[in-house]
Amino acid sequence: MESESKKIGKVTLCKSFWDTMTDGKHILVNSSAQNRVIRLVKDYTKYNTKDDEYLKKSTARLKDTIGTKAVEDLINKIENKDYESVAHFLILNYYDKLYSYSIDKYEYDMSVSSDEVDLAVSKILEYYDNAEKEI
């Protein structure tokens, strides 16, 4: 589960789920900026490359966090379909800063790169298979 808070938007996680998430095993899954850009562009533009209003409105809401000039530049890039530059900027200047706090609050039982998804899955499954044997 991504480093979420107890409340995600208007939804509050139930106590038992929250407790399991915070008290359970923690695996840090990381990825290179390049692969994250590819995934973000694919996920956010796959069905909606003709009308970018949603992306522009969402970006405009970041004005207080990343500044007016940055928002204007990003909206211009969205209008020019330069989604890779938008994703790269937001990864480095918004998301990584936002999640660094929550990443630092846990001790991780393992860390794995998701750049090669099948390899990451194998490593995580191996970790859990070994953990079950220890019980």
| Tally of residues, the chain | 135
Structural domain includes residue 54: yes
pLDDT at 1: 59
> Does residue 4 fall inside a structural domain?
no
Number of domains in the chain: 1
- pLDDT at 10 (0 to 100): 85
What is the pTM for the complete model shown? 0.77
Flag whether 96 is in a domain.
yes
Q: Is residue 99 a part of any domain in this protein? A: yes
In a domain, 12, yes or no: no
Per-residue pLDDT of the chain (135 residues; tens, 9 = 90+): 566 678 877 888 899 988 888 888 889 999 999 999 999 998 888 766 667 888 899 999 999 999 999 999 999 999 999 999 999 999 999 988 888 877 888 889 999 999 999 999 999 999 989 887 776
**In terms of residue numbers, what domain contains 124?**
25-134
Find the farthest-apart pair of alpha carbons in the chain and give their distance in angstroms, rounded.
55
Asked whether residue 5 is assigned to any structural domain, the reply reads no
The answer to whether residue 44 is domain-embedded is: yes
Could you tell me which of 73, 47, 71, 49 has the C-alpha nearest to residue 60? 71
Domain for residue 124, yes or no? yes
Task: Read off the tokens for 79.
Answer: 């209008």
Computed from CA positions of residues 83, 86, 89, 95, in that sequence, does the dihedral angle turn out positive or negative?
negative
pLDDT score at 25: 86
What is the predicted pLDDT for the residue at 44? 80
